[in-house]
Every structure is written in structure tokens, then in C-alpha cells.
Chain A
Amino acid sequence: MTKVFTDGLSFALPLLIMAVGAIYSEKSGVTNLAIEGFQGFGAFIGALAAILVMPYFAKSSQVPIYIAMIFAAVGGGVYACLHALLCINFKANQVISGVVVNILAVALTTFFTSAANTALTGTASNKFILGVSNRYSIPLLSDIPVIGGLFKKMYPFEWIIIGLVVVFWYLMYKTRYGMRLRACGENPQALDAAGGDVVKTRWIAVIISGALSGIGGICFAYSIMANFSPSIYMGYGYLAIAAMIFGNWNIPATVVVCLVFGLAKAGGQQMCIAMKLPGNYTDLFNMLPYVLTMLLLIFFSKRNHPPQASGQPWDQSRR
């Protein structure tokens, strides 16, 4: 049971930070299917940074992980500029742009991972071996029966993510920028007439989206994957988008949805182990979040209220 909670959380939180990223972009009025590409590219930059700095630290040192997270955020943010440029300035179809950005991310990271490996080690491997982050338990909270499992053996990045989610919730709902951002996705004309800068607001939102997704990606790389390879493109970016949709583009609701996803996946895996099924069967349980997504979509899609201007390019001449 404890394992369900610990594994569930360590899956749910990276997913959550990506979903928050998606919410930022969509609330500003830019449809974002590019989360998958953002997280992969961010993770790639983070992993590359980690590989480069690792020789300077002790083998068990955790410092490279934090360096990797910073670089993943920067990498995701920089890569997101591509989506911003296509959607905001070039007025490309935002769905197509998202797909293009994803395909390009896979191609770029795959190619440059092997290129970097060739340059660094001389072998054209498509993997950066990263290892797994250490885990820590929270002293008192983890002793609580049943839900104590939530606080046992946590990755440090989980705490960072929780902190970031709180910060970005505050930014969106309490501050001047957040107020303009949400207006921008509902009625950009209103923001423009009130003296706000639609283009700038959207650019910042998309970059935030990329940075948060990058953090999500590197966290996956440092936990369930233990390396960076093209298998980082497992569709978790799309799961984050699905979580955002059930969460109705609302951060607190999305937190709950992500927890449900995480617990379902971890629960499935533990069931598989408990029933002593052969290894191949884990595939069936890995499928659970996707099946769950489909089912939830069937029940919840009709009542959704996405930001009204999402997906429409902002054209200053059409006021």
C-alpha cells in the first residue's frame, strides 16, 4: 500500500507540473499540444548538462540533479520559443504547430543525443545514463497510518514541484500578470484595449509552459527512466493535457486529477506484482492511465469550458 502512494506521487507530480505548464499556455490563448516536445527537449538539455558536470562531483552527489533541473527549465523554455514564434508571430495553425514542435523535438534530441555521445565517449548510444535520485522520508508525517505513505521515500524534486505549483498558482490568480494572462485567453481585445500587451503576455506564458514541462521531463528521467533516451516520449505530455482538460483549466482541480492518474498507475503495477504475473503483463497496467483518460474524457468532455480565445491567433488589425 505504501508503495502505491510513493510511486503514485512520484508519477503524479511531474505530470502535474507539466499540466500547470499547459494551463499557462492555454489560459493565455495558445493551444498547446507541444507539451510532449517541451518536456523531452527540456529533459535532453538537463540530462546533457548533468552528463557534462557529473565528472566534477562525487559519484553519490545529488548536486547534478539540481543543475539538471535548472537546465531542463531553461531548455524547455528556450525550445518553447519555437511554438510561441509559430503560433503568436507567424499565426500558424496552433494544433499543427504543436504536432510539428513535438516531431522536431523527437528528431532533434535523438540525433543530438547520439551525436553528443559520439563526441563525449566515442560510442553512438542514444542514451544518457543518469541514475535515480535519492529518496527521503518526512520524519513525523510519514508515521501517520495509511496516508503516511504519501510522505515516505519522497524524491526531493517532488518538494520542489509542490513549491512551484503553489508559486505558479499564486502568480496566475493573485498578481497583475496573472490577471492579464487570464484576460488574454478569454478576450485578447479587452486586454489590448485596456493597454496590455497581448503578444508579450502570450510569449511569457508559452515560455513558462516550456520551462515547467522541461522540469517535468527531467524528473521523469531521474525517476522511472533512470536515463535520458527517446523513450522519454511516452506520451506523458499528452496525459498532462488530458489532466488539464478534466481539471477544467483550473490548477487546484488539476492537482486532484493528476493524483488520481498517479495512484491508478501505481496501484495497477502493485496489483500486477501482488498477483505474481509475468513481466510482460506490466504493459497492460502501464496502459491504465491512457484507458482511464479515455473513460474520463467520455464522461467529462461535454461540460468543459476551455478559454474562449484559445487557438485563435491574435490579429491586431481585427479589433
Chain B
Amino acid sequence: MKENKRKGLAGLLTSDRWSNVTVSVLAIILMLATSSVILLIMGKNPLTAFRSFLQGCGFLPKAKYGGGSGMLSDLFDYLNILAPMLLAAVAFIVAFKTGLFNIGISGQMLLSGFMATILVGYMKELSPWIAKPLVILIGIATGGLLGALIGFLKYKFNIHEVVSTIMVNYIISFTTGFFINTRYVDMLTRSSRICSTASRLTWTKVNIGGVNCNVPLGIVIAIIGAVLVKFIFDKTVFGFELKAVGTSRKCAGYIGVNVGRSIVLSMAFSGIFAGLAGVTYYLGYTNTMVPKTLPGMGYDSIAVALLGNSSPLGAIFASVIVTIFQSGANYMSSSIGVAKEIASLITGILLLFAACGEYMKILGRRKIEKEEDKKIAAMQEARVKGGADK
């Protein structure tokens, strides 16, 4: 640590233990700086903007609250978005560790949300104790099967998962859109009809400390999921083999890992988390589905995963940050009058800097090498001079 302090930022970027954290923190700082510049150009005070994001999420108190709501209700709403975001990020991480890009999280979320909505959400008179587990199961099954399909196509027909997931995304978007429009549409909102309270993964209007809160069930699932994934990849034979497939497919085959099976399993595993993200998003947060619209969260989760250095625990912290901008956007927009689309712009910028992470590490390494080189050069020159003196 002493050594690192002396070498400053370059040292932090190259040290085994700190480099990933440093890269993420740097990416966040750069993102804050860039978005401040954008806000300044638009004539807004960035500090007020960032404060209003935090206020919108219930981290800071707002100027005033409507009847029955308070800081705590904002915080719970924030957790309600955080849950699917974290689950989706974990979904991306699971595939990524096996060397696969699950760009189809949006589609997997959409279809599992759709299946759970029509199978359970519209079923009347179901006990919540049956409905809620059923919703979760349907999410797991739909997402898992879809993921397995992608893995199978990759292994059997050599179809790159990025292309196939994107095609499947659009197919799902059009098909579910068609069914929602023809069968399940609410004529007033032009979205699907809302799900029954029993099936929702959120307890609505729970009175805590005098304010009404929507308590999300999903956040518990999400945190358990993240920890579980960490355990699997760090401690088990199964995770070890998946990582081997992810880093060197050839070597994994050589030591006898069934590579095809690993690819299918990993995509299925990833799909399960995407499915869970789908049901927590559609039956926990939105409660309705807009036809022909893929959830942007499926892509934002990639930002979260990258920012968290594709580690499940890193993803928890990264999703906490990214969700602030997503969840606080409405309040920010209404309080300082900037279009709420700036939230996705900020996420995009963050994603951009997170993608530069490797380059930051290279820069750090180069700087240290240069310094060491200078030392050696100085030593050599001294030696050459010494030789000449003799």
C-alpha cells in the first residue's frame, strides 16, 4: 500500500487489489465531469441537478411531499427499480464470465414478464402465497428456456449469440406486442391491463413510520442471487469450469470440460436471472406492459456489469449508482426542467468510460514501466561512464 501511494494513480491502476475499484471510481468521476459540462452548457447548475437526482431516490429529503408519502416511500420506489437492474446485471455477468454476451436480456425480461402476466397476473382469486411463487417460477422457466435456446443455437449451429439474441429480442417484441394489442390491451392506457395485486412482487401501500411505501420483494431475490453467483464462480467446480470455458475454450476442451454443455448451461443460467429481472420489473415495478417496447434496462444492465467489473458484488454497488439516475430522473426533470432522457445519456456516458477501463490500466502500466525504465537507463549510463573513466 505504501508503494502504491508513492506511485499515485498509476500505482492504484496496476495494483492487483485496487485496479478494478480505481477504474470504476475513475469512470464515475469522468461521467460526473462530462455530464456537469453538458448541464452547464444547458445553463443548469450541475450540483442542483445531482442533488435533485438524490432527492428523487429518497437519499435526500425533498422540499415537500404529497399526502401520505415521504422520503421512505421514495427510497422503496428506488429499491423497486434497483432489484430488476441488479438481477439483469447479474444475468449479463453470468454469461460474460463464460465468454458469452447476453445482449438478449431485454427480450428475456419481456417474454418472462409477459408469460407471468397472462398466466398468473390475470388469474382472479389466487392466494398471494401461491401467486407470487408461481410468478417467480414462470420467470425462471421462461428466461432459462430462452437462454438455453440461444446457447444451443451457438453450440449447435455456430450462431453468434449477439446476433441471435438481438433477432430474438425483436421477434419477442413484435409477438408479445401483437398479443397485447389484440387480447390484453387496456383501451385507455394503450398498455396491457394491470396485474392482480396478489400476483405482484411488491407489497403496495404498506404503512411504515406514517408514510405509504411499496415494499419490493425483488430486492431480496436480487441480493441473494448476486451472492449465490459469486459463490458459484468463486468456490465451486461448476463455476471453475464455466470460467475456464470463458477464458480459454480450447484449454477447457483439453481438460475434458464439455464445452457445448457449458455454453448452454451458462446461457440458461443467465436467462434465469434475466427472467427474474423481467418478473420483478413488470410485476413488481411497472405492473403493466407497453406493447412493442423492449425494456431499456436490459441494455443499461450491461453498463452496470461493466462498471462493477463483471463481479456480482461490484454489480451491487454499480447498480446502486446507475439506478440513482434512472430512478431520480423524473423528480430531477420536474424540479430543474431538464428532459428526463438525460438519465439514459448519463448512463451511456458512464458505459463509455467503463469500456475504456482496460485502456486506463494500460496507461497506468505504461507510466510505471517508463519510470522503471528511466531508473535502469540511469544506472546503465552511470556504468558506461564509470567504464570510460577507467
A residues adjacent to B (C-beta < 8 A): 33, 82, 86, 89-93, 95-97, 99-100, 103-104, 106-108, 110-111, 114-115, 118, 124, 126, 234-235, 238, 241-242, 245, 280-281, 283-284, 286-287, 290-291, 293-294, 297-298, 301-302, 304
Q: What are 11 A-B interface contacts by the 8 Å CB criterion?
A: A93-B355, A95-B162, A99-B299, A104-B351, A106-B348, A111-B341, A235-B167, A238-B166, A290-B170, A297-B157, A301-B159
- Contact check, A110 vs B163: say whether CB atoms are below 8 A apart: no
Chain B residues within 8 Å of A242, by CB:
163, 167
- With CB as the reference atom, state the residue of chain B lying closest to A96: B355
A235-B169 Cα distance, complex, nearest whole Å: 9
Within 8 A of A (CB), among B322-352: 339, 341-342, 344-345, 347-349, 351-352
Return the CB mask of B115-156 against A: 1 if under 8 Å, else 0. 000000000000000000000000000000000000001000
- With CB as the reference atom, state the residue of chain A lying closest to B38: A111
Chain B residues within 8 Å of A294, by CB:
164, 167-168, 171
Given known pairs A99-B302, A280-B178, A287-B170, the reply for A114 and B341 (CB within 8 Å) is: yes
* B53 on interface, CB distance cutoff 8 Å: no
Chain A residues within 8 Å of B345, by CB:
107-108, 110-111
Q: Assuming A283-B181, A284-B174, A291-B167, what are 17 further A-B pairs, CB within 8 angstroms?
A: A33-B162, A86-B356, A92-B355, A100-B302, A103-B302, A103-B303, A103-B344, A110-B341, A115-B339, A238-B166, A280-B182, A283-B177, A283-B178, A287-B170, A297-B167, A298-B159, A302-B158
The 5 A-B pairs with the shortest beta carbon distances in the complex, nearest first, are A104-B348, A90-B359, A107-B348, A287-B174, A107-B344
Chain B residues within 8 Å of A99, by CB:
101, 103, 162, 299, 302
Return the CB mask of B344-369 against A: 1 if under 8 Å, else 0. 11011101100110110010000000
- Contact check, B356 vs A283: say whether CB atoms are below 8 A apart: no
* B306 on interface, CB distance cutoff 8 Å: yes
Chain B residues within 8 Å of A234, by CB:
170
- Nearest-neighbour CB distance to chain A for B41, whole angstroms, equals 10
* B292 on interface, CB distance cutoff 8 Å: yes
* B175 on interface, CB distance cutoff 8 Å: yes
Selected from B166, B174, B177, B358, the residue in CB contact (under 8 A) with A91 is: B358
Given known pairs A90-B359, A110-B341, the reply for A238 and B348 (CB within 8 Å) is: no
Selected from A103, A281, A286, the residue in CB contact (under 8 A) with B351 is: A103
Chain A residues within 8 Å of B300, by CB:
103
- Contact check, B170 vs A90: say whether CB atoms are below 8 A apart: no
A104-B345 Cα distance, complex, nearest whole Å: 7
Chain B residues within 8 Å of A298, by CB:
153, 157, 159
- Nearest-neighbour CB distance to chain A for B257, whole angstroms, equals 22
Given known pairs A95-B101, A107-B344, A235-B169, the reply for A241 and B175 (CB within 8 Å) is: no
A124-B337 Cα distance, complex, nearest whole Å: 11
- Contact check, B358 vs A281: say whether CB atoms are below 8 A apart: no
Selected from B167, B302, B339, B348, the residue in CB contact (under 8 A) with A293 is: B167
- Nearest-neighbour CB distance to chain A for B183, whole angstroms, equals 10
Chain B residues within 8 Å of A281, by CB:
178
Given known pairs A95-B101, A294-B164, the reply for A108 and B348 (CB within 8 Å) is: yes
- Contact check, A291 vs B341: say whether CB atoms are below 8 A apart: no
A124-B211 Cα distance, complex, nearest whole Å: 34
A235-B167 Cα distance, complex, nearest whole Å: 8
- With CB as the reference atom, state the residue of chain B lying closest to A242: B163
- Contact check, A283 vs B302: say whether CB atoms are below 8 A apart: no
Selected from A97, A104, A126, A280, the residue in CB contact (under 8 A) with B181 is: A280
- With CB as the reference atom, state the residue of chain A lying closest to B181: A280
- Contact check, B344 vs A106: say whether CB atoms are below 8 A apart: yes
Chain A residues within 8 Å of B162, by CB:
33, 95, 99
- Nearest-neighbour CB distance to chain B for A121, whole angstroms, equals 14
Residue in A93, A284, A287 whose Cβ sees the most chain B Cβ within 10 Å: A287
Chain B residues within 8 Å of A103, by CB:
299-300, 302-303, 344, 347-348, 351
A111-B344 Cα distance, complex, nearest whole Å: 9
- Contact check, A290 vs B167: say whether CB atoms are below 8 A apart: yes
- With CB as the reference atom, state the residue of chain B lying closest to A115: B339
A91-B339 Cα distance, complex, nearest whole Å: 34
Given known pairs A284-B178, A294-B168, the reply for A97 and B341 (CB within 8 Å) is: no
- Nearest-neighbour CB distance to chain B for A224, whole angstroms, equals 15
Chain A residues within 8 Å of B303, by CB:
103
- Contact check, A107 vs B171: say whether CB atoms are below 8 A apart: no
A93-B302 Cα distance, complex, nearest whole Å: 13
- Nearest-neighbour CB distance to chain A for B188, whole angstroms, equals 18
- With CB as the reference atom, state the residue of chain A lying closest to B168: A294
Chain A residues within 8 Å of B164, by CB:
294, 297
A294-B161 Cα distance, complex, nearest whole Å: 11
- Contact check, A91 vs B178: say whether CB atoms are below 8 A apart: no
- Contact check, A110 vs B344: say whether CB atoms are below 8 A apart: yes
A110-B347 Cα distance, complex, nearest whole Å: 13
- With CB as the reference atom, state the residue of chain A lying closest to B360: A90
A118-B337 Cα distance, complex, nearest whole Å: 12
- Nearest-neighbour CB distance to chain B for A123, whole angstroms, equals 12
Chain B residues within 8 Å of A290, by CB:
167, 170-171, 174
- Contact check, A114 vs B339: say whether CB atoms are below 8 A apart: yes
A218-B349 Cα distance, complex, nearest whole Å: 25
Chain A residues within 8 Å of B168, by CB:
294
Residue in A245, A281, A283, A304 whose Cβ sees the most chain B Cβ within 10 Å: A283
- Contact check, B163 vs A238: say whether CB atoms are below 8 A apart: yes
A82-B168 Cα distance, complex, nearest whole Å: 28
Given known pairs A107-B344, A111-B345, the reply for A291 and B171 (CB within 8 Å) is: yes
- Nearest-neighbour CB distance to chain B for A163, whole angstroms, equals 29
- With CB as the reference atom, state the residue of chain A lying closest to B166: A238
A111-B178 Cα distance, complex, nearest whole Å: 29
Selected from B163, B339, B352, B358, the residue in CB contact (under 8 A) with A100 is: B352
- Contact check, A100 vs B351: say whether CB atoms are below 8 A apart: yes
Chain A residues within 8 Å of B339, by CB:
111, 114-115, 118, 124
A234-B153 Cα distance, complex, nearest whole Å: 23
- With CB as the reference atom, state the residue of chain A lying closest to B156: A298
- With CB as the reference atom, state the residue of chain A lying closest to B175: A287
- With CB as the reference atom, state the residue of chain B lying closest to A95: B101
A304-B157 Cα distance, complex, nearest whole Å: 11
- Contact check, B178 vs A90: say whether CB atoms are below 8 A apart: no
- Nearest-neighbour CB distance to chain B for A101, whole angstroms, equals 8
- Contact check, B355 vs A97: say whether CB atoms are below 8 A apart: yes
- Nearest-neighbour CB distance to chain A for B158, whole angstroms, equals 5
